[in-house]
Structure 1
Amino acid sequence: MPEPQLRKRAIIIEEIFHEGGPVAETPRRRAAILAVIKNPFAGKYVEDLTGFMDDLKPLGLQMTKDLVDALGGDVNAVEGYGKGAIVGAAGELEHGALWHVPGGYAMREILPASKAIVPSAKKVGGLGARIDIPITHTNASFVRSHFDAMEVGIPDSPRADEILLALVMTTGPRVHARMGGLKASEIKGEDGLR
């Protein structure tokens, strides 16, 4: 398969001080990195797509490293993650599914406490389409305080023959998390769930 052809990248960083409640001592940070690539399968049906996942792995690793750097460079500060893709109109949903392995495993390779599955979303959309990327705790999917999402998109993307790839990370729980359940301090780290 061909090496991914990158048209543009973007990094979005949010600092959340409060959501109507008391101001947090340390603002919560939530960030996304987006890459817009040419879709080599646009406009045609291809039976075997899996080889392109290997071609996307270096991009996934670079995006992961750049996103950690954007959050301050400390891999141990990252507590939540998610991934997603928007496929342009000449592609199909399965082309976005190609991001599961290279996007998810890249984050799990770089982040030390990342036993939890990386949640994801994908869709087909036109220029300016946006997508909500689901977020869970990196080490235990059942930690309710880290259930979240970040809406991402780029105004001129994806073009019909492109795919927008996204990774999202957070530095903690929702700023006013108080829904009970398993706490981050109670994680056993055995199975990615608890």
Structure 2
Amino acid sequence: MTALSNRVRKLVRYSEDILIEGGKEAAKPARMVAVAAVLQNPWAGRGFVENLRPEILAIAPGLAQMLVRELLEACGGADAVEAYGKAAVVGSSGEVEHASALIHTLRFGNIFREAVGGKSYLSFTNKRGGPGCAIAIPMMHKLDEGLRSHYLTVEFTIGDAPGPDEIVVALGAATGGRAHARIGNRYIDMKEMAEEGKGA
């Protein structure tokens, strides 16, 4: 955690509990949570840096551990997490590659997956933005990428971040799927399309 001690300016936690959807009460209220770290961009002011790996190795694992700990506390533990995702936003003086570098490494993602017993890949967004920009974290079921009930997005803003030389790195989780999911999953489409092909 030493590599992070003088880089993280603040941690931000956002959550919402879905109680009613479409005018109908949810049988099982779901909580969507996002936890974000606002940190100094380690490549800012250095011009074009060819090799990003030293900073990835030094920062990404500790950053993941910090965010996972906060996220699980907000969700009520690892077993409560059903869907997950990640996001990063780099400030205007950085490259999108800088945001990508900290989240698109197994040394970051595997810490989250292993903590919640996930198997699915972590859906993501990575972009450049300024203070107050929308930070959207798309999510999917942690065990089954084809369950459309858990295709969710948690979105929030941080009024003063990212600054030009900062990166916002965020993890998102949900304790359930959409309140009244009724569009079926990918496997229904695959079965129907296969049957249509056979009959053609």
- 2:90 pairs with one of 74, 87, 90: 87
Counterpart residue type for residue 26 of structure 1: K
TM-score, normalisation: structure 2: 0.85
Shift of 1:26: 2.6
- 2:146 is aligned with 1:145: no
Runs (4+) of structure 1 moved beyond 4 Å?
none
CA-atom RMSD in angstroms = 1.5
Q: Are 1:63 and 2:90 matched, yes or no?
A: no
Count of aligned pairs: 180
Tell me how far apart the structure 2 counterparts of residues 153 and 100 of structure 1 sit (CA, whole Å): 22
AA partner of residue 18 (structure 1): I
In the alignment, the residues of structure 2 paired with residue 42 and residue 129 of structure 1 have an alpha-carbon distance, to the nearest angstrom, of 20
Report the 3-state secondary structure (helix = DSSP H, G, I; strand = E; otherwise coil) of the residue aligned with 2:68. Answer: helix
1:175 aligns with 2:179: yes
Q: Which amino acid aligns with 2:8?
A: L
In structure 1, the gaps of 5 or more residues are 184-194
Paired letter, 2:72: V
Q: Which residue identity lines up with residue 63 of structure 2 in the other structure?
A: L
More strand by proportion, 1 or 2?
A: 2
Query: Equivalent residue for 1:131?
Result: 135
Which of the pair has more CA radius of gyration? 2
Does residue 28 in structure 1 map to residue 33 in structure 2? Answer: no
1:113-162: CA deviations, max 9, x gaps?
A: x1100001010011111122110010111111101111122100000000
Instruction: Output one character per residue of 1:25-50: Cα deviation in whole Å (capped at 9) or x when no partner.
Output: 33110000010000011232100002
Please, what TM-score do these two structures have when normalized by structure 1?
Answer: 0.87
Identity of aligned residues (%): 39
Gaps of 5+ in 2: 188-200
Aligned pair partner of 2:10 in 8, 11, 16: 8
